[in-house]
Chain A
Amino acid sequence: DSGVTQTPKHLITATGQRVTLRCSPRSGDLSVYWYQQSLDQGLQFLIQYYNGEERAKGNILERFSAQQFPDLHSELNLSSLELGDSALYFCASSAQGAYQPQHFGDGTRLSIL
């Protein structure tokens, strides 16, 4: 158990809809990262938050947004969903300080019908 909790485990929805994925980092971790894992693209970095503020952006679509709340949990919002958004979405967290490994949750599997 990594200590990172993601909910829900599975989401099934339709094209055009909006969903919210939730992540609780390990106790004490200030950094939260979101990744997308698909069969054709592998694991891709989306966005990072540190102590409530956006720190880095990767290959995140404009239809996607995220935030980190004062209690450090994070949410990833996906809107105007398309078939190609079907993937596993992982959250990771890391401790403060340089060269700290990221620890991953077990992901949310999003299926767009």
Chain B
Amino acid sequence: GESVGLHLPTLSVQEGDNSIINCAYSNSASDYFIWYKQESGKGPQFIIDIRSNMDKRQGQRVTVLLNKTVKHLSLQIAATQPGDSAVYFCAESYNDYKLSFGAGTTVTVRA
């Protein structure tokens, strides 16, 4: 699989490989985190969320890891498919209202 230790704006992944998208969040008080996928011409689409009392959560082909010590969030996508090509955003929330979004990572899946 391919992984990125630091946040990079783009990630190119071979179809079928696993991919890891990283995000550093800013507010140590944030207690809720969400990953979104945004395709061209569409709004952000909810992928998976995690609360600050957890460090890992799994969904269908996706896993989110939270490291509060270093304020780091990652999204792992298993067996990346062409339909996974999109911009991925992490978002953080404190006290349950507004979302603060990261800069986004553009994922391109190579056939």
Contact = CB atoms under 8 A, between A and B. Distances in A.
Contact of A103 (B41, B46, B89): B46
Interface stretch (B20-28, B66-74, B77-85, B100-108): B100-108
Interface string B10-47: 00000000000000000000001010100001111110
B43 A107 contact: yes
Interface in B44-100: 44-46, 49, 51, 89, 91, 96-100
- Of the four ranges (under 10, 10 to 19, 20 to 34, 35 or more), the interface on chain B belongs to 20 to 34
B45 A104 contact: yes
Interface of B (DSSP majority class): strand
A105 interface: yes
Interface in A63-113: 90, 92, 98-99, 101-107
Interface of A: 2, 4, 6, 33, 35, 42-45, 48, 55-56, 58, 90, 92, 98-99, 101-107
